[in-house]
Amino acid sequence: MIFVGGVPFSSSSQGNTLVALMEDPILVSAANSFKAIPERKFPVYEESGVDRLMKNKWVYLFQREYGTVDPAFVDFVGTDEATTCVGIVIRNKKNGMTSVSHMDSPNIVDMGLSQMLLHVVDHNMEAELDVHLVGGFEDVSPNYAYSSTRSESQEQLDGHSFPLCAKIVEALFTRPENFHVQTLFVLGHNTRRDSEGNAYPIFHGLVVETSTGLVTPACFDRTSRCPDEIVRRIRVTSAYEDPSWSGKLLETYDTQTDQFRIASCCWSFRQKDISLTLKSLSDSEILLICSTSPSAEAPDFVDNLRRQWEYLIEHPDWRETFPSKQARAFERVGDGGWKRC
């Protein structure tokens, strides 16, 4: 069940719940307020000007990953690099347990929400759960996307953002838990246009301050997208071909121990040849082939892909990365960072 402003939300059976929520005055006001918040950059440096990381403890999540954090262990949890993807926050107002995911497909929404809620609701179906959605943008015409008269063949042209957002809202609406939607910064709210009318996301990411539940726009650099950045990126791609992860979000963070455990994944020697071919392409060709929104990607999108391909070229045998199929484990160190166990 969805609540807005403390009141159960209902829409006409002939209407679209997502569209109705996008037009709700409370959520429109919240979206406008969110848009005005300066984007927070990670890592966080001392105001004194000394380039030294503050001892904040955060958990970063890549595409298709999720993590549930305890505020006793973690100060911040967030994700970025979202264009047509959506970052979801679910936080238990009573105990502060916070789950964040980076969803990239309608196919993982139902199981993904169940995974996120496992350590958040604590078997209390009456718990008040604050929800924030940030991401997705108008990658198709807004008039077209919101139309209720599209044919089945036209549905294939919906783009990526709208079907994902619609599925998330539908799943929240039909689940038994009480979801209090606080932020709905998606689609039109998260879209800016250049002088030629081309659409781009306003924000690509979010971060949650676990002690307060405050959600702000955020971006992370390469050093803060950790631990095990490249292997986790490769694991996202490998998961699409692994039936054991079908319909699921990827588990990486252990809530109870405040550790990362990156389960083993495999790739074929053929990936080396594919990587060599892709690496030889121009930046524009890579964007067209590898992105759902080529014109809207962040400046480091192509570089991140090239670094993945370089790793696969240098390590064509996945068993070098995961000896004996053992997970790669990381524990937190004193400055809030991570070291391999």
pLDDT band of 331, cuts 50, 70, 90: very high
The tokens describing 264, both together, are 């083993």
pLDDT digit string, tens, across residues 74-130: 999 999 999 999 999 999 999 999 999 999 999 999 999 999 999 999 776 678 999
pLDDT band of 154, cuts 50, 70, 90: very low
Determine which of 106-110, 143-147, 217-221, 284-288 has the lowest per-residue pLDDT on average: 143-147
User: In angstroms, rounded to a whole number, what is the distance separating the alpha carbons of residues 102 and 115?
Assistant: 13
pLDDT digit string, tens, across residues 29-64: 999 999 999 999 998 654 444 444 456 899 999 999
Residue 332, Cβ neighbours under 10 Å: how many? 18
pTM: 0.91
Per-residue pLDDT, 335: 79
User: In angstroms, rounded to a whole number, what is the distance separating the alpha carbons of residues 228 and 265?
Assistant: 14
Per-residue pLDDT, 207: 98
The tokens describing 100, both together, are 């964040």
Using an 8 Å Cβ cutoff, are 250 and 235 in contact? yes
Residue 204 above 90 pLDDT?
Answer: yes
